[in-house]
Chains A and B, each alone.
Chain A
Amino acid sequence: MTAHAAVGAPGARLRKLFRRHDDPAGTPRLSPLWTFVAWLATLAFFAPVAWMVLTSFHQEADAATNPPTPLAPLTLDQYQLLFGRDITPFLLNSAMASVISTLLVLALAVPTAYALSIKPVEKWTDVMFFFLSTKFLPAIAALLPVYMIVKEVGMLDNVWTLIVLYTAMNLPIAVWMMRSFLAEVPKEILEAAEVDGANLPTVLLRIVAPVAMPGLAATSLICFIFSWNEFMFAVNLTATQASTAPVFLVGFITNEGLFLARLCAAATLVSLPVLIAGFAAQDKLVRGLSLGAVK
Chain B
Amino acid sequence: MTTLTAPRKTAPPPARPRTRSGVSKWRRRIPLLPALIFTIVVTQLPFVATLVISTFQWNILQPGDRHFTGLSNYAFVFTDERLRAAVLNTVVLTASVVLISVLLGLGLAMLLDRRFVGRGLARTLLIAPFLVMPVAASLLWKHAIYNPDYGLLNGTLNAVYQFFGADHGPTVDWISSYPMPAVVVSLVWQWTPFMMLILLAGLQAQPGDVLEAARVDGASAMATFRFITLPHLRQYLELGILLGTIYVVQTFDAVYTITQGGPGSQTTNLPYEIYLTMFRKYEYGEAAAAGVVVVLGSIVIATFALRTIASLFREETSR
Contacts and interface: CB of A to CB of B under 8 A. Distances in A.
Interface of A: 17-23, 26-30, 34-35, 37-39, 41-43, 45-46, 48-49, 51-52, 55, 63-68, 108-109, 111-112, 114-116, 119-122, 125, 127-149, 164-165, 167-168, 171-172, 175, 180, 183, 225, 228-229, 231-232, 235-236, 245-246, 249-250, 252-253, 255, 259-260, 263-264, 266-267, 270-271, 274-275, 277-279, 282, 285-286, 289-291, 293-295
Given A18-B120, A29-B114, A245-B133, A66 B149 contact: yes
Q: Is chain A's interface secondary structure helix, strand, loop, or mixed overall?
A: helix
11 contacts: A39-B122, A67-B162, A131-B39, A136-B305, A138-B250, A145-B45, A164-B42, A229-B134, A236-B279, A267-B133, A271-B136
B121 interface: yes
B275 A140 contact: yes
Interface string B118-148: 1111111111111111111101111111010
A294 B260 CA distance: 36
Contacts of A235: 256
Contact of B116 (A30, A147, A172, A231): A30
Given A137-B298, A138-B271, A35 B117 contact: yes
Interface size class of B (residues with CB under 8 A): 35 or more
Interface of B: 25, 28-32, 34-36, 38-39, 42-47, 49-50, 53, 107-108, 111-137, 139-145, 147, 149-150, 152, 154-156, 158-159, 162, 189, 192-194, 197-198, 200-202, 204-205, 208, 236, 239, 243, 246, 249-250, 252-253, 256-257, 260, 270-271, 274-275, 278-279, 284, 287-288, 291-292, 294-295, 298-299, 301-302, 305-306, 309-310, 312-313, 316-317
Contacts of B111: 30, 34, 37-38, 41
A295 B149 CA distance: 45
A232 B271 CA distance: 10
B128 A49 contact: yes
Contacts of A293: 239, 309, 312-313, 316
Contacts of A279: 124, 127, 131
B154 A246 contact: no
B150 A48 contact: no
Contact of B143 (A131, A146, A263, A295): A263
B38 A29 contact: no
Contact of A294 (B39, B113, B246, B312): B312
A137 B50 CA distance: 12
Nearest to A269: B136
Contacts of B156: 67-68
